[in-house]
Amino acid sequence: MVLVVLIGTAIYLLSANGGGGKTSVRNIPKKEVAEPQFVKEGQLWFIKKQSRDTLRRIDIEIANDAEERAKGLMHRTNMPDDRGMLFIFNQEDEQSFWMKNTLISLDIMYVNKDKEIVTIYKHTQPYSENPIPSFKKAMYVVETIAGFCDKYHVEEGDFIEFTENEIADKSS
């Protein structure tokens, strides 16, 4: 009886697509996710450790709650090198990110409570679900387009500074 049900199910699935020798189950359209648009929520400066010179200033989006941190830069198809995302955590701790649903390669910088860059990953692999751990305590994480750190000579031991835009009352 079970064999009859399995064979019947297989025949139905193969013919559900209209036959014609096609072996796919069905052409079910994938749910499209709208690409998030950049919203400038502040500015961030990369500062050289020794000279205290500014290496580069970028506009940033800020992810400071669990939902925003979970979304990060997912579903973006591009990002200019004058933009990035700053993740702010409530306390300094070892952090770990991944590249799930992230379409573009990124440079990821882990930053401690003193705003010193403690770990950098360059040219991360899009779509990867492998962990990208800080190995050191971090309170902030900065993501930029891949190649940013090499282009602007950002290194571990350098610092960041940032400002947040004043948020208008969203209830009006």
> What is the torsional sign of CA 166, 106, 112, 88?
positive
User: Which distant-in-sequence residues (6+ apart) come within 8 Å of 23 by Cβ?
Assistant: 14
Each domain of the chain, given as residue ranges in start order, spans 1-30, 31-164
Look at the pTM and tell me if it is higher than 0.75. yes
pLDDT in the model for residue 28: 45
**In this model, does residue 22 exceed pLDDT 90?**
no
pLDDT in the model for residue 31: 57
Question: Under CATH, what is the fold of the domain 31-164?
Answer: Jelly Rolls (2.60.120)
**In this model, does residue 120 exceed pLDDT 90?**
yes
Encode pLDDT of 35-85 as tens digits.
999 999 999 999 999 999 999 999 999 999 999 999 999 999 999 999 999
